[in-house]
Structure 1
Amino acid sequence: MTAKKGLQIASLAGIPIYVSWSWWFFAALIMVVFRPTFAQALPQTSTAWTWAVAAFFVLIMFGTVLIHELAHALAASSFRWKVNEVTLNFWGGATVYEHSSTGKAQTPLRSLTVAIVGPISNLIIAAAAWLILQVLLDPAGTAQVLLTITVWTNLLIGVFNLLPGHPLDGGRVVESAVWAATGSRARGMRAAGWSGRIIVLFLLVGGVLVPLIQTGEISPFTLVIVVLLSTMLWQAASAAIKAAQAQLLAEQLTITELTTPVQTILSDASISKLIPLLTGSGPGHEYQQLPIAVLELDTHNGHEVPVGLVDSHALASVPRSAWHLPVHTVARALNPQAQVHKSDTVETLFTTFMEFPNELIAVIDDSQVPHRVLGIINPESLAGRLQD
């Protein structure tokens, strides 16, 4: 199965595993870069054999990164969080997961656990390869070369990912520590973002400046990799800082202050019932001014359940002769599960955004029985407001 994100190669516990198109370039690059190393380490072998060894090393790297990402995925799943996908790419891999309302609450310790298991898996692989090396009968053959490079690459991957800065796994460690100390996940995100920027500076100094000072030159390949990696890390760290600042600003407000009030109407009411809720006079113009939530009533407790939002364009296209149609025919569907209570914290709101990305969030007043819908929160509008 193919998709924009790459080729789906498998599914584990319902989690799709993709190999991105950039990974194939990474695989070819690894073969080209490491083939001379294998040729030097195995001087008695043919050129074809060294290419075969390089290809086998690519498979080892593939398995290494896959185990790393699956460790993240399985840890998140153990807390019943929703894992959307695992993708292997040029820079290694990524596991996309989000908190689920049916799962365990997000805490600094659980976030730390999901982050730390990835690098730990690399260190375990390195240790296992080293132990096999100790009992290897042929200390100078292909197996010895592959095991040795497996030890060092896994040590490098494990240690690098433990560096304390976003978006590396060590950044999640920083985030969790600050979150536990301050009670604010946003402060943890901001700290991890800034430490990520510092890591980029060290990477540029150690990868570019130091070699230039010591030898007066640097290989074009090293320069390109360091610059590309630094750019990716800097952009991710900056995005984390920006998101954290927006969340910190939002935390100074209440859910009610972030809510856009709405008028409400039942989904089976006729479109003609909308007319008293509208303002203005020009067809199409008035419909832009007032959001109207479409509701259904829970038959068990009478609570209001938001199921849609009146679509101004659809409403404007309905002739008067069709005003007898039910309101839900001119409504944009809403996810009734995407909601927060007016008494919830803003951190709960941001967690809900992660669980229901790109969804409008309904704000429920649960202090009354039956519950009422107070309004909606649009993540795009809120982001624009917090960035102004």
Structure 2
Amino acid sequence: MPDPIGPASSEGPPGRPQRAPGTLRIGSIAGIDVLVTSSWFIVALLISLTFAPRIEDAEPGLGFWKYVAGFVFAVVLYLSVLLHEASHAVVAQRLGYGVNSITLHFLGGMTEIDGQSRRPRHEFWIAVVGPLTSIAVGAGAAALWFVVPDGLVRLALQGLAGANLIIGVLNLVPGLPLDGGRVLKAAVWGASGNQHRGSIVAGWGGRITALALLAWPLVMEPLTGQQPTVLDLVLVFILGLFLWTGATAAMAHARIRQRLPALVARPLARRTLTVPEDLPLAEAVRRAQEAQAGSIVTVAADGSPAGIVSEAAVTAMPAERRPWVAVSAVARRLEQGLTLPATVAGEDLILAISRRPAEEYLLVEADGTIYGVLSTADVDRAFRDNARR
């Protein structure tokens, strides 16, 4: 669940995923792809235009170069955002999680971590390290500001210090999808033993934060003596909407995950008949019907599983052709990810299916013997039935 600057969990395929449309790879950190979205160039331009008058005051006569200096400041600012995200990624890797990518975007950054946290303390450390990194960068820039003479460098340090201190403090606000929301989630999870309760509590924290942010323009003038500008209103609306939708999505995902433990692969498996790869399809279907088997698995000459016969392919094959077609012609080869342990259940089952989408999966016991075939349609049906209860 992404936040303006913070980690996000992922249920995508393992290894190096395909880049999302509109992203550009600019390098890697610890083997993790660093991506930039097209929206980053828009915000970099806005920062350049906004910062240009202050640059002109600090260094008069720069002309067009003041905008170049503003763009350089935007790059430096987002390098500090990259440090924030890299800290999430490195800690996640140290704790044994895969990290797919780091993406810099309009609202900051996102670290895509493979899977959900397994323990409350993992959730805590992965989340809290980002804001602490930003605060450390901000404090370091502020310290240098006192020893650097007047000029562009001092101005950049001032902006870098202010931005990072604000980013660090705001990200500690206890509401999802902010880092502070994940810290709150870890605290509630650790105290109650229920991860999903932690997500729901932190989601409500995010909703309250969104409402408080949307109300800020109403109290800005009485508290600060300044009227909100159009830019203030736009930014408040964008950030408030982002927080509300992110918190709501996190709560919805938590409620879904509460139902996942009821999903167990073993009782959903179809009884399976094993046949040689070169057996005629008509004979394989006859044997399956005789054995009242709901699936057919082909085996190689050495007896090892080779493929799962596709029910859709069998149905599409005309009956008059089945005696002349080998059963292997309508079987999907057992590639990596299509063989699952018979004990797989809950979120592990959903993760396995989402990583390697297919219509059927072979379930095997710990000793490698075939237990049965799991159909995705049966899993979907069981999930819907659990949702109605």
Which category of TM-score, normalised to the shorter sequence, fits these structures? 0.7 to 0.9
Matched, 1:130 2:142: yes
Deviation digits for residues 174-197 of structure 1 (CA, Å, limit 9, x no counterpart): 222222222232222222222211
Q: Deviations over 1:334-381 (max 9, x none)?
A: 665466656566354456567x27566858474888351363456755
Segment drifting more, 310-319 vs 231-240: 310-319
Contact residue 363 and residue 377 of structure 1 kept, 8 A: no
Query: Could you tell me the percent identity over the aligned residues?
Result: 26
CA distance in 2 between partners of 1:238 and 1:170 (Å): 16
Whether 1:92 and 2:108 are equivalent positions in the alignment is: yes
| Counterpart Cα distance in 2 of 1:236 and 1:75 | 23
Distance in 2 separating the partners of 1:15 and 1:318: 49
Match of 2:13 in 1: none
Say whether the 8 Å CA contact 1:6–1:20 is kept in structure 2: yes
Structure 2 CA distance for partners of 1:371 and 1:277, relative to 1, 3 Å? closer
For the Cα contact (< 8 Å) 2:308–2:360, is it kept in 1? no
Cα distance in 2 between the residues matched to 1:133 and 1:203: 30
Q: Is the 8 A contact 1:130 1:147 kept in 2?
A: yes
| Counterpart in the other structure of 2:32 | 15
Stretch moving more, 356-365 or 182-191: 356-365
Matches within 5 A, 1:359-374: 362=361, 364=363, 366=365, 370=369, 372-373=371-372
In structure 1, distance between residues paired with 2:118 and 2:288: 42
Equivalent in the alignment of 1:55: 71
Matching of residue 211 in structure 1 with residue 228 in structure 2: no
In 1: Cα distance, 2:143 partner to 2:310 partner: 65
Separation (CA, whole Å) in 1 of partners of 2:321 and 2:386: 43
- Asked whether the 8 Å contact 1:305–1:336 carries over to 2, the reply is no
Q: Which runs of 5+ in 2 are unaligned?
A: 1-17
Q: Which residue in 2 is equivalent to 1:255? A: 264
- Return the offset for 1:308: 4.0
Q: SS at 2:34's partner residue?
A: strand
On the 8 A contact 1:186/1:244 being kept in 2, the answer is yes
Between the two proteins, the alignment pairs up a number of residues equal to 365
The aligned counterpart of 2:11 is none
Q: Secondary structure at the match of 1:163?
A: coil
Please say if residues 297 and 305 of structure 1, whose CA atoms lie closer than 8 Å, have aligned partners that are also in contact.
Answer: yes
Alignment-derived partner of residue 282 in structure 1: none
Q: What CA distance in whole angstroms lies between the structure 1 residues aligned with 2:256 and 2:342? A: 20
1:158 aligns with 2:168: yes
Residues of 2 paired with 1:333 and 1:231: CA distance?
46
Separation of aligned partners in 1, 2:380 and 2:107: 29
Deviation for aligned residue 1:211: 2.5
Give the secondary-structure state (helix, strand or coil) at the position aligned to 2:176: coil
Change (3 A) 1:338 1:322: closer
What's the CA shift for 1:46? 3.3
Q: What residue number does 1:31 align with?
A: 48
Cα shift at 1:15: 2.0
Matches for 1:1-388 after TM superposition, within 5 Å: 4-40=21-57, 42=58, 44-99=60-115, 106-136=118-148, 138=149, 140-206=150-216, 208-211=217-220, 217-251=227-261, 253=262, 255=264, 259=268, 261=270, 263-266=272-275, 268=277, 269-276=279-286, 292=295, 294=297, 308=308, 310-313=310-313, 315-317=315-317, 320-321=320-321, 323-332=323-332, 336-337=336-337, 346-349=346-349, 352=352, 356=355, 358=357, 362=361, 364=363, 366=365, 370=369, 372-373=371-372, 375-376=374-375, 384-385=384-385, 387-388=387-388
Cα offset, 1:147, TM superposition: 0.4
Secondary structure, in 3 states, of the residue corresponding to 1:81?
Answer: coil
Higher relative contact order (CA 8 A, sep 6+): 2
Q: Which runs of 5+ in 1 are unaligned?
A: 280-289
Distance in 2 (alpha carbons) for counterparts of 1:307 and 1:99: 28
In the alignment, the residues of structure 2 paired with residue 94 and residue 265 of structure 1 have an alpha-carbon distance, to the nearest angstrom, of 47
Question: Does the aligned pair in 1 maintain the 2:341–2:366 contact within 8 Å?
Answer: no
